[in-house]
């Protein structure tokens, strides 16, 4: 459109300028003729013209009304450098003249405008008040000195008409081009849009994890190798085939690793149980053993216990990864939190334990055992990774459609470099690494996996003096919670809380 507009504008301008200059040339030719006719052949005193009687004066009235002069031609008689008379011919009804023209004298102002034109024998454009623009020329000849002037209105009208026609044609052309352009571009880019739509759908697929079904392909009709778009479509399809293959291979290898970890963990449980069982049996048996052996047996037992915990954690993670279904049931978070905090208090008497619970039941659909493990892990961290005297608060609150459990402590906080990775497997702080009691770095990974499997999530915010883990679970709606059960549970909760 812009290109067409520019081309039309250039053509229009060039045509207009050329036509105008041509018309002015013609007009100047006419002007020359008029000037020659009025001033006579040679300069004043020329023996060929007026002879020695001096210049003949032209009858201006007759000149402007008759003869081949263009309409409205002005002639002015100049004597001694002063315009003494000036006339132009005008159409007139009451004219007695055969040509139907009347000679009108110019006023003083109009004559002054004429007189201001340079007397160099060349044509000049000037405005005559009341009569419009004229081409004016001064000429001295055998008949004396004259100004001759012809109107430019004819040229102006022609040029204006041309500009109007050009503008209309350009506007119509632009409208037609825009309509045709829209239709043609729309049709031409339709295959490209289909390819783009396929690419967009693929980009919206969750490809980062799990079994990915990458079935999107560019339609066969848009894969014609003879067109550019077809080649793009075919290339995109080939790429999607590769990506699909790669994702499938990734998934297979992931599944294999997971199955291996799950199988290994499962298989390790029995020998571990045997090791700790035999160690305990030997320690408790009546046989006399030396202090070293007794110590060694104690170590075997405690390390076997630690390894059992690790294996259990690994097994649980492998099962959650494999998407093994949880045993969902209606669970009230309030008694669960009360119970786990009581247990934590029993294990950590040197910490201060606080509860902040709502009055109504906090019902979620969850696997109670897994949820309990999550709370135990969070409270265990607040106990194990903070110094004695730390206050730990467990809070249950409702946020929109979510139920949130906060475990907050005022310990030294999680190191800044560990914080972004704290939910990763085997991510541990230095303090946890150096501890002798079993700390594997799987606790928070399990918390996150369980929360995700419940359709919720877990977040952490930690600065020195305030660390909050927030577990978020979807709340059960009113309809889903039967009033009688919830009432019963609430009374139980109140009782538990009072005991606690």
Ligand X SMILES: Nc1ncnc2c1ncn2[C@@H]1O[C@H](COP(=O)(O)OP(=O)(O)OP(=O)(O)O)[C@@H](O)[C@H]1O
Report which secondary-structure segment, H or E, holds 229.
helix 228-284
To Mg ion, the closest distance from the beta carbon of 439 in angstroms equals 7
Instruction: Work out whether 305 is an interface residue with ligand X (CB under 6 A).
Output: no
d(CA 173, CA 171): 5
Q: Which of 422, 449, 471, 476 binds ligand X (CB under 6 A)?
A: 422
Choices 87-95, 264-272, 428-436, 490-498; region in contact with ligand X by CB under 6 A: 428-436
Q: Is 381 in the site for Mg ion (CB under 5 A)?
A: yes
State which of residues 40, 141, 443, 456 lies at the interface with Mg ion (CB under 5 A).
443
Dist. CA 30–CA 64, nearest whole Å: 14
* Candidate segments 210-218, 224-232, 379-387, 420-428, binder of Mg ion by CB under 5 A: 379-387
CB of 145 or CB of 390, closer to ligand X: 390
Which of 183, 170, 141, 107 has the alpha carbon at shortest distance from 37? Answer: 141
Please, which residue, 5 or 427, has the CB nearer to ligand X? 427
- With respect to ligand X, which residue has the nearer C-beta, 282 or 440? 440
Nearer to Mg ion, 50 or 443 (CB): 443
Interface with ligand X, residue 348, by CB under 6 A: no
Between 427 and 492, name the residue whose CB sits nearer to ligand X: 427
d(CA 151, CA 72): 7
Nearest-angstrom CA–CA distance, 40 and 386: 123
Interface residue with ligand X among 77, 216, 332, 409 (CB under 6 A) is 409
Which of 16, 170, 393, 440 forms a contact with ligand X (CB under 6 A)? 440
Nearest in space to 341 (alpha carbons), one of 328, 355, 327: 355
By CB under 6 A, tell whether 429 contacts ligand X. yes
Cβ 457 to ligand X shortest distance, Å: 16
Angle at 421 between CA 415 and CA 426, to 5 degrees: 100
383 contributes a contact to ligand X by CB under 6 A:
no
- Told to check if 439 binds ligand X by CB under 6 A, we report yes
Residue from 49, 233, 348, 443 binding ligand X (CB under 6 A)? 443
User: Cβ 462 to Mg ion, closest distance in Å?
Assistant: 14
- The DSSP output letter for 66 is S
Q: Which is nearer to ligand X, 51 or 388 (CB)?
A: 388
Told to check if 444 binds ligand X by CB under 6 A, we report yes
Q: Single out the segment in contact with ligand X by CB under 6 A; choices: 120-128, 191-199, 218-226, 426-434.
A: 426-434
Stretch of residues binding ligand X (CB under 6 A), selected from 3-11, 290-298, 339-347, 405-413 = 405-413
The structure tokens 């060694």 sit at: 296
Sign of CA dihedral 221, 223, 229, 235: positive
Residue 449: CB minimum distance to Mg ion, A: 14
- Sheet strands side by side (includes 101-105): 101-105, 82-91, 74-79, 144-151, 132-141, 124-128
Q: Pick between residue 33 and residue 406 the one whose CB is nearest to Mg ion.
A: 406
* Sites of contact with ligand X (CB under 6 A): 377, 381-382, 385-386, 409, 411, 413-414, 418, 422, 427-429, 431-432, 439-444, 467
* Sites of contact with Mg ion (CB under 5 A): 381, 443
């Amino acid at each position: 459109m812009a290109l067409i507009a520019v081309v039309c504008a250039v053509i229009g301008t060039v045509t207009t300028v050329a036509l105008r200059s041509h018309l002015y040339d013609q007009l100047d030719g006419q002007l020359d003729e008029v000037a020659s006719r009025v001033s006579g052949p040679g300069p004043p005193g020329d023996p060929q013209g007026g002879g020695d009687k001096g210049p003949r004066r032209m009858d201006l009235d007759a000149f402007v009304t008759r003869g081949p002069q263009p309409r409205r031609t002005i002639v002015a008689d100049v004597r001694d450098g002063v315009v003494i008379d000036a006339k132009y011919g005008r159409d007139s009804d009451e004219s007695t003249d055969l040509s139907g023209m009347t000679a009108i004298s110019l006023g003083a102002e109009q004559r002054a405008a004429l007189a201001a034109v340079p007397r160099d024998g060349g044509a000049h454009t000037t405005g005559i008040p009341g009569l419009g623009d004229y081409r004016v020329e001064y000429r001295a000849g055998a008949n004396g000195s004259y100004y001759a002037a012809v109107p430019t209105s004819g040229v102006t009208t022609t040029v204006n008409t041309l500009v109007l026609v050009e503008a209309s044609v350009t506007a119509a052309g632009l409208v037609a081009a825009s309509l045709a352009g829209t239709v043609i571009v729309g049709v031409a880019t339709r295959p490209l849009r289909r390819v783009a739509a396929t690419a967009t759908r693929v980009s919206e697929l969750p490809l980062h994890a799990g079994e990915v079904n990458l079935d999107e392909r560019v339609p066969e009709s848009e894969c014609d190798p003879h067109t550019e778009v077809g080649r793009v479509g075919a290339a995109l399809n080939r790429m999607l085939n590769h990506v699909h293959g790669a994702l499938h291979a990734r998934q297979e290898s992931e599944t294999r690793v997971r199955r291996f970890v799950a199988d290994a963990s499962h298989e390790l449980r029995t020998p571990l149980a045997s090791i700790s069982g035999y160690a305990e049996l030997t320690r408790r048996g009546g046989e006399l053993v030396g202090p070293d052996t007794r110590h060694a047996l104690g170590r075997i037992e405690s390390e076997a216990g630690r390894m059992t915990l690790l294996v259990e954690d690994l097994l649980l993670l492998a099962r959650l990864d494999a998407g093994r279904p949880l045993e969902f049931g209606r669970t009230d978070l309030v008694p669960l939190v009360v119970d786990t905090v009581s247990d934590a208090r029993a294990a950590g008497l040197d910490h201060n334990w606080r509860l902040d619970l709502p009055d109504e039941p906090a019902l979620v659909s969850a696997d109670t055992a897994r949820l309990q493990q999550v709370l135990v892990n969070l409270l265990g961290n607040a106990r194990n990774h903070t110094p004695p005297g730390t206050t730990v608060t467990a809070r249950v609150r409702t946020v929109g459609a979510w139920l949130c459990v906060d475990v907050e402590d005022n310990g030294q906080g999680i190191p800044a470099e560990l914080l972004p990775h704290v939910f990763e497997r085997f991510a541990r702080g230095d303090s946890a690494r150096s501890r002798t009691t079993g700390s594997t770095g799987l606790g928070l990974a399990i918390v996150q996996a369980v929360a995700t499997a419940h359709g919720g999530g877990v977040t952490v915010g930690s600065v020195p003096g305030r660390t909050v883990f927030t577990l978020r679970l979807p709340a059960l709606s009113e309809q889903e919670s039967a009033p009688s059960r919830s009432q019963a549970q609430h009374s139980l909760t109140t009782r538990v809380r009072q005991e606690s």
